[in-house]
Structure 1
Amino acid sequence: MRFVIDGDGSPVKNEVIALGAKFQVPVVIVTSVDHYTLKEYPAFVQFIYVDKGADRADYCIIQEILPGDWVITQDYGLASLVLGKEARVFHHSGREYTSANIDELLTQRFLGAQMRKAKKRTKGPKPFTASDREQFTQVMEERLKSLT
C-alpha cells in the first residue's frame, strides 16, 4: 500500500506525508514540472514529475498505481478510473469515492460543465480551511487504524 497524491491541486500533501510517516506508508506525489521543488522530503516520499498539459498527471497516476494503493484527488474523472484498478480513492475532504457514489459525482460534474458552457454561474469550491485539514487527517487516521 502507498499513498499516491494527485499533486497539482492537492491542499493535503503535508497531511498525507505526516500520515505516511506515522503509519509507515510510502508517499508518491505526481505533479507537473510547473510545481518542481528543491525542498527536501523524507526518504519515503517520492516525486514523479510530468510534462505540462491537461491530464498528464492523471495518466501517469493510472499507470503508476497498484492494487491496494490509496489515491488522493479531487478529480472525479481520475477517481472513476482509479476504482477500476483495485485501488482506493479519496477526496481531500476524506470522503471515499466508491462505485456506489461515483456515477452521481460524474453527473454533477457534467451538469456543472454544461451550465458553464451556457454561461450560467456556478458556485466554486469553498476555501480549504485548517478545520478541513484536521477533518481529513482524522478521517484518514481512523481508516488507517482499522487496517491494523
Structure 2
Amino acid sequence: MRIIVDADACPVVIKEILFKAATRTQTELLLVANHYMRTPPSPYIKFLSVPPGFDVADDEIVKLAEEGDLIISSDIPLAAEIVDKKGRVLTPRGEVLDKQNIKERLNTRDFMDTMRASGIQTGGPAPMSQKDRKEFAGHLDRILATSK
C-alpha cells in the first residue's frame, strides 16, 4: 500500500502528519499537485508535479492508484473513482469514504452544486479544528497498522 495525496487542497498540518507517518512506518507517500511543494528529505516521500488545469491532478491520481492504496482527498468525484478501483479514501478531516457512503456524498455534492448554481449562498467548510486533526491521525494510524 502507498499513500497518494491530492496535495493542492490538503492542509499543511495534514501533510505534516503524513510526512511523519510515512517515515515512521516506511510507507511510500506521493504528493500530487500542480504547483511546487517542498517535502522533507526522506526516501519514502515523493512529489509529482502535474500541469495546471481542471482535474489534471485528480486524473493523474486515478491513473496511479491501485487496489489497496490510500488516497487523501476531500474531492468527492475523485473519491468515487478511487472507491471503484478498490482503493481507500480518507479526507483531511478524518472521514473514511467507502462503498457504504460515497453515493450519498456524491448526491449531496451534486445537490449543493445545483444550489450554488441557482444563486443560493451555501458557505464553505468550517476551519480545520483540533478534533479534525485528531480524527485524521487516528484513522491514518489504524489504516497503516492494518496494512503492514
TM-score clears 0.5: yes
Q: What is the DSSP-based 3-state SS (H/G/I as helix, E as strand, rest coil) of the residue aligned with 1:111?
A: helix
1:30 aligns with 2:32: yes
Write the distance in 2 (CA, Å) between the matches of 1:51 and 1:93: 27
Identical amino acids, percent of aligned pairs: 29
* Aligned residue number for residue 20 of structure 1: 22
Counting only pairs closer than 5 Å after superposition, residues 1-148 of structure 1 correspond to structure 2 as 1-11=1-11, 12-32=14-34, 35-38=35-38, 40-148=40-148
Q: What RMSD in Å do the two structures reach over aligned CA positions?
A: 1.5
1:5-37 Cα distance to aligned partner (Å, 9 max, x none): 0010001111111111121111000000xx213
Write the distance in 2 (CA, Å) between the matches of 1:92 and 1:74: 7
Match for 2:30: what amino acid?
A: V
Q: What is the DSSP-based 3-state SS (H/G/I as helix, E as strand, rest coil) of the residue aligned with 2:10?
A: coil
Q: 1:39 to 1:101 in 2, by over 3 A?
A: closer
5+ unaligned residues in a row in structure 1: which ranges? none
CA contact (8 A) 2:93 2:128 kept: no
5+ unaligned residues in a row in structure 2: which ranges? none
Structure 1 ranges of 4+ moved more than 4 A: none
How many residues align? The count is: 146
Q: 1:40 to 1:93 in 2, by over 3 A?
A: closer
1:79-120 Cα distance to aligned partner (Å, 9 max, x none): 000011121111112211111101110111111111111101
TM-score normalised by the chain length of structure 2:
0.91
Q: 1:90 to 1:117 in 2, by over 3 A?
A: same
TM-score normalised by the chain length of structure 1:
0.91
Q: What is the DSSP-based 3-state SS (H/G/I as helix, E as strand, rest coil) of the residue aligned with 1:4?
A: strand
